[in-house]
């Protein structure tokens, strides 16, 4: 089992059993996003700032370019229901699909035909916007949810031939969206405007906040075996979420719909790290998190954490976290 961490400069490959990490080889340019392929052992995908998409077939140790060079890649995900299908999001907001493991690519129908697109704007660069996250339905290969930063969470049921616009009451600034294979129509969203969840594939939404002391959410993960166990990372705002040395990130955990609980075991008090990136582990109870201190592991559904591996050089920014099996 390997953990991949994308910083703003490189991809670090962490051997969990050995407790050591090393830089990956073959990625040109700055990493922007990262994902493991759930259907192909040892395969992972990485987007870069302007050098396109890269694929690894050896657990992230080495990479090769597989296209879309020249575009700013901001999101990448591998289908959990259709082998060799990869989805990529860019800035400005476009969605691209490969059905042959990156050998060829085709753009979906244009997102900007949606009526809400005139309001989309990324606050640091208000003249543009991008696809921040793409989530796949675990069982329906052509159903996707696509997060536009900032302004909408849109969806498709036909692989991007047509798009459905945002719905009233849904998240505006989605950063990540998690779906569990045991509850494929239940969506969990970490967003700049809070936490959101839906039980009907995004038709309606609620935003339970009891116990959340802050409202800017970065990452979300669900326990591999228990879809009701949800962990999120959060901060007091966008300027205290992402940069090491000036952030106040923290974790929250929820077992029921009643209340969030602050996770303190394994995290500094007062909060002083970036809002960590999260990912689901290989078995029930196992969760992973990454901040500037290293990669952290929980084996009890996010209740307590311990640092598994540190970095040779502490990064200032993190762009992606993935578990490769």
Close Cβ partners of 167 (under 8 Å, ≥ 6 residues apart) = 202, 203, 204, 205
pLDDT at 18: 84
Omega into 270 within 30° of 0, i.e. cis? yes
Closest CA to 267 of 312, 216, 305: 305
pLDDT at 101: 96
* Radius of gyration for the chain, computed over Cα atoms and rounded to the nearest angstrom: 18
pLDDT at 16: 86
pLDDT at 316: 93
Q: Which residues pair with 168 in a beta bridge?
A: none
User: What number of other Cβ atoms are within 10 A of residue 211's Cβ?
Assistant: 13
pTM: 0.96
Strand 53-56 and strand 44-48: the pairing is antiparallel
Per-residue pLDDT tens listing for the chain (325 residues): 899 999 999 999 999 888 788 999 999 789 999 999 999 999 999 999 989 999 999 999 999 999 999 999 999 999 999 999 999 999 999 999 999 999 999 999 999 999 999 999 999 899 999 999 999 999 999 999 999 999 999 999 999 999 999 999 999 999 999 999 999 999 999 999 999 999 999 999 999 999 999 999 999 999 999 999 999 999 999 999 999 999 999 999 998 777 999 999 999 999 999 999 999 999 999 999 999 999 999 999 999 999 999 998 899 999 999 999 8
Sign of CA dihedral 207, 208, 209, 214: negative
Burial of 6 (0-12, 13-18, 19+ CB in 10 A): buried
pLDDT at 29: 80
What is the rounded CA–CA span in Å between residue 220 and residue 280? 9
pLDDT at 325: 85
């Amino acid at each position: 089992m390997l953990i991949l961490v994308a910083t703003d400069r490189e991809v670090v490959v962490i051997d969990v059993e050995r407790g050591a990490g090393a830089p990956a080889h073959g990625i040109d340019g700055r990493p922007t996003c990262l994902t493991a392929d759930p259907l192909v052992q040892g395969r992972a995908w990485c987007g870069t700032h302007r050098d396109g998409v890269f694929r690894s077939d050896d657990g992230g140790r080495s990479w090769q370019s597989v296209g879309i060079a020249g575009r700013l890649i901001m999101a990448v995900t591998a289908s959990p229901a259709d082998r060799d299908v990869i989805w990529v999001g860019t800035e400005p907001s476009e969605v691209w699909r490969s059905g042959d493991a990156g050998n060829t690519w085709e753009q979906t129908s244009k997102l900007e035909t949606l009526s809400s697109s005139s309001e989309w704007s990324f606050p640091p660069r208000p003249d543009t916007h991008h696809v921040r996250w793409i989530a796949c339905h675990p069982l329906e290969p052509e159903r996707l949810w696509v997060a536009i930063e900032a302004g909408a969470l849109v969806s498709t049921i036909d692989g991007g031939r047509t798009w459905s616009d945002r719905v009233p009451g849904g998240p505006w600034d989605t950063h990540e969206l998690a779906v569990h294979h045991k509850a494929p129509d239940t969506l969990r969203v970490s967003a700049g405007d809070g936490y959101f969840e839906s039980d009907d594939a995004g038709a309606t939404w609620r935003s339970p906040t009891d116990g959340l002391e802050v409202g800017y959410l970065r990452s979300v993960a669900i326990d591999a075996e228990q879809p009701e166990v949800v962990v999120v990372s959060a901060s007091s705002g966008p300027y205290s979420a992402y940069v090491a040395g000036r952030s106040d990130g923290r974790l929250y955990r929820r077992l029921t719909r009643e209340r969030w609980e602050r996770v303190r075991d394994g995290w500094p008090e007062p909060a002083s790290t970036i809002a960590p990136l999260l990912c689901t582990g290989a078995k029930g109870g196992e969760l992973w998190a990454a901040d500037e201190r290293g990669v952290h592991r929980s084996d009890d559904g996010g209740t307590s954490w311990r640092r598994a591996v540190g970095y040779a050089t502490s990064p200032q920014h993190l762009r992606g976290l993935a578990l490769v099996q």
